[in-house]
Amino acid sequence: MSPTRNRGLLTAAAAVIILAAGSGIAAQAAPQSGNNDSPAADSVLADRFKAVDRTTSWELTGKLKLEFPTHHPQGIAYTDDHIFLSSVEIVERTVKYPSPRDGYDRTAGKGVGHLFVMDKAGKLQKDIILGEGDMYHPGGLDFDGKNIWVSVAQYRPNSSSIIYRVDATTLQAEKQFEVPDHFGGVVMDRQTGHLVGHTWGSRRFAEWNLKGKELATWKNPNHFIDYQDCQYVASSQALCAGVTVLPQTPAAGGTTAAYELGGMALIDLAKKTTLHDVPFQKWSTAGHAATRNPFKLMADGNHLTMHVAPDDAEEGNGTEILTYEATVTPVR
């Protein structure tokens, strides 16, 4: 669930980026790459990610500030023509019950689900409204080369979700099916043609055919972080990123001074295992772990480029798409 698939190489924002004040890096154009959804390109990304570890040196190379109300971003995807950003607009916050009621631990709240469509400079082109009734919380995105896949759930666990397919060219959204749980993200497995989603806190995965028939479900064997945004990479694998919130020591404020731990993981959707995971401790302008929500990673040989958007509209400098880059040595 949220506290951000383009399964292939991602197109970086072709815009002038505003770099952090005092960073010592001059303003420059964002790096560019073609959108590449080939299996070979996917395999390169999966392979290079396995070379990422805690010593990998990531450099912040750009910030693209979004100049429209972005609310609480969740997932991001890149195509040749657009940047897609899912987000939830909270109208009425959920409230925890003293004890569960009708299977729920909190009220439904009220909100609006958005799928923002931008050009490569981050200029808003269209706002696609998604959701029905209590299902107003969009999650992570996946781009399969033609369609954007996104789940829109109730903003509470053990609830319900709608899976949408959005044509990345016509921008027409179509309701694919509903599922009886909160799913905070979904990926299209190009090898099987099935969809795989993860529930609140990514504690459980489910696999469906395109008509919504559940084919498999399994518990997440990894408790490192809660995945927020995933992208398909290769051979029934998905690359996910997210965050977990941990309490500080009593002397540092305890639970009132929570600590965000960010990270990434490569998951085998067929074997239902975690292949490789690593923390990512870079921070946003507002002080969030960079992998808090929207996340995309691309590879150009041994060079990795990551795009994340951890801050909400009302935080820090507003929502910025941060670009990090690193060079790795492939594992032999």
At residue 250's C-alpha, the angle toward residues 246 and 255, to 5°, is 40
Indicate the pTM of the whole model.
Answer: 0.88
On the question of pLDDT at 159 being above 60, the answer is yes
Q: What is the dihedral of CA 9, 15, 21, 24, to 10 degrees?
A: 70
Mean pLDDT of the chain: 89
Q: Are 182 and 192 in contact (CB under 8 A)?
A: no
Q: Note the pLDDT of residue 62.
A: 96
Q: What is the pLDDT of residue 332?
A: 73
41 pLDDT tier (thresholds 50, 70, 90): low
Reported confidence tier of residue 34, pLDDT bands at 50, 70, 90: very low
Q: Note the pLDDT tens digit of each residue in 173-205.
A: 999 999 999 999 999 999 999 999 999 999 999
Give the pLDDT of residue 92. Answer: 98
Domain ranges in the chain are 16-93+109-327
- The string of DSSP letters for 301-324 reads TTEEEEEE----TTSBTB-EEEEE
**Residue range 8-17, pLDDT digits in tens:** 333 333 333 3
H helix or E strand, kind and range, residue 49: helix 39-49
Residue count (the chain): 332
CATH topology of domain 16-93+109-327: Tachylectin-2; Chain A (2.115.10)
Tens digit of each residue's pLDDT (9 = 90 or more) over 256-267: 888 999 999 999
